[in-house]
Amino acid sequence: MNMLNTPKEMLRTEDRAMEEIKTDVLVIGAGSGGLSFAAGASQMGADVTLLEGHKMGGDCLNFGCVPSKALIAAGKQAQAMRSGEKYGVSPVSPKVDFAAAKQHVHKVIDTIAPVDSQERFEGLGVRVIREYGAFADKDTVVAGSYRITARRIVIATGSSPLVPPIDGIDTVTVHTNETIFDLMEKPDHLVIVGGGPIGMEMAQAHVRLGCKVTVIEGAKAMGKDDPEMAAIVLDTLRAEGVEIVEGAKAQRISGKGKTITVHTDNGDFTGSHLLMAVGRKANIDRLNLDAAGIEHDRAIKVGPDLRTTNRRVYAIGDVAGGFQFTHVAGYHGATVIRPILFGLPAKAREDHIPWATYTQPELAQVGLTEAQARERHGRALEVLRFPFHENDRAIAEGKTKGLIKVMVVKGRPIGASIVGEQAGELIGLWALVIANKLKIGAVAAMVAPYPTLGEISKRAAGQYYVPRLFENPTVKKVVGLVQRYLP
């Protein structure tokens, strides 16, 4: 592992004997984006070199999606034990072994890790170098004792937790997503600053595992989502005991040991542990981007083709500054295969990107929210709705809290929002519809197995035809006429 940190220190290695490598494509960063690209490109015949300065698998595997979903699963198990009464199963107060829950998290990481491992990628023909890279010029990168020149370069260096310089923050122990999954002791009272997806997912997992939890949000919690859908999640979290304080920007932090106070413009909040979840910053500091003529502000500037201001260099995933999701990084990786391997044009779309927040109930979105669609399409917009409490499977499972909304213009869905059990699974159908610009009739024509939660999608699509078929005097007239003459 390279212990050199700054680009200058890394470039100073030029003074030592350098091993020269010439490669078709150099990928910097072995997270979701870099690995997706490297696997595809190598298997299609390109000579690929991959740099990784820290852990193979990047954020998603080691500090993000995977550990968070594993901890959420532990919390869900605990919650199920508390809530058996309505099914005739005596509720019990579960004994939570917090360290064992974290062991479960690490077992899950270890189980998935081989898929992202150096060995697997070397098996696919990729040259893997475990060093941080920094540009020396427009097509050369220095990494440890290697000087690598490539025809094309893909920057996939991801992002890191943003820890803003709030007054007093360096006087207390601050957790981020990079440390919280290694914390083996149970926090008595976890104070989370930030009510985005990280904040809300971690809040529910921790409250269910027996911690007291306070979320401090400067603006509106789950502010990127449809407020009507977000309210259903926030009500549930509050009912489970999470204190959520909105309009409370953290201004100062004070404390000692296990007494940490966050001072906000809406009161002071004291807990035993502090988790900062206030967004991300792109990993560009180490790259020496100026040497390669790559423009950036907080993230690397790219066009819709994901090309940077250096035409030989692409940036994908979190470092490119758009949606920050694993599936987007993977999609970017697949998109740049075309120009890099075949010299063909390709653009990354954003209108069909889904996302889900894995609270219970889950909240999922693809395309435009109702407010965005209303702003763009005004009176041409129709919003189709169907509640979970009218779905037979949701009733049988006792999971009736939820709603689907589908935004339709001229018969074509342009957005869908789902809050409820398995919303993250259910949104897939609408992601397919929007990606392929299908009409609402395609979903209405589908026969969904009974009884499934998936029927809510068909029922929502069916709402499109209610005014057109069931509340239409012409249809009634025609049916009356046909019935009079039908033998």
Ligand X SMILES: NC(=O)c1ccc[n+]([C@@H]2O[C@H](COP(=O)([O-])OP(=O)(O)OC[C@H]3O[C@@H](n4cnc5c(N)ncnc54)[C@H](O)[C@@H]3O)[C@@H](O)[C@H]2O)c1
Binding residue numbers for NAD(+): 194-201, 217, 279
> Of all residues in this chain, which one has the CB nearest to ligand X in the complex?
196
Which of ligand X, ligand FAD, none does 193 bind, CB closer than 5 to 8 A by kind? ligand X
Look at the chain and count its residues: 487
DSSP code, position 471? S
> Of all residues in this chain, which one has the CB nearest to ligand FAD in the complex?
31
Q: Which is nearer to ligand X, 42 or 159 (CB)?
A: 159
Name 296's bridge partners: 300
Q: Which is nearer to ligand X, 167 or 235 (CB)?
A: 167
In the complex, the residues that contact ligand FAD under the rule CB under 6 A are 28-34, 51-55, 58-60, 64-65, 68, 132-133, 156-159, 177, 198, 283, 286-287, 317-319, 324-327, 329, 358
353 forms part of the interface with ligand X (CB under 6 A): no
Which tokens go with 10?
Answer: 């890394």
In this structure, are residues 409 and 415 in contact, taking their beta carbons and an 8 Å threshold? no
Task: Centre a 10 Å sphere on the Cβ of residue 317 and count the other Cβ atoms it contains.
Answer: 36
32 forms part of the interface with ligand X (CB under 6 A): no
Among 71, 148, 180, 193, binds ligand X (CB under 6 A): 193
In this structure, are residues 388 and 396 in contact, taking their beta carbons and an 8 Å threshold? no
Which of ligand X, ligand FAD, none does 51 bind, CB closer than 5 to 8 A by kind? ligand FAD
219 forms part of the interface with ligand X (CB under 6 A): yes
59 forms part of the interface with ligand X (CB under 6 A): no
In this structure, are residues 35 and 52 in contact, taking their beta carbons and an 8 Å threshold? no
**Shortest Cβ 249–ligand FAD spacing (Å):** 21
**Shortest Cβ 449–ligand FAD spacing (Å):** 27
194 forms part of the interface with ligand X (CB under 6 A): yes
Query: Is 304 exposed, middle or buried, given 0-12, 13-18 or 19+ CB atoms closer than 10 A?
Result: exposed
Helix axes 455-463, 423-435, angle to 10 degrees: 50
Q: Which is nearer to ligand X, 194 or 420 (CB)?
A: 194
Q: Which is nearer to ligand X, 37 or 358 (CB)?
A: 358
Among 45, 114, 123, 223, binds ligand X (CB under 6 A): 223
Q: How does 161-180 read in b/e, with b if 16+ C-beta sit within 10 Å? A: beeeebebbeebebbbbeeb
**Shortest Cβ 285–ligand X spacing (Å):** 18
Which tokens go with 189?
Answer: 């009272």
278 forms part of the interface with ligand X (CB under 6 A): yes
DSSP of 376-408, one letter per residue?
HHGGGEEEEEEEGGG-HHHHHHT----EEEEEE
Which of ligand X, ligand FAD, none does 217 bind, CB closer than 5 to 8 A by kind? ligand X
Which of ligand FAD, ligand X, none does 417 bind, CB closer than 5 to 8 A by kind? none
Name the pairing type of β-strands 362-367 and 354-357: antiparallel
Among 116, 201, 226, 455, binds ligand X (CB under 6 A): 201
- Could you tell me the CA-to-CA distances from 436 to 351, 384, 411, 440 in Å, in that order? 11, 20, 14, 12
Which residues of the chain form contacts with ligand X (CB under 6 A)?
164, 193-199, 201, 216-219, 223, 249-250, 277-280, 324-325, 355-358
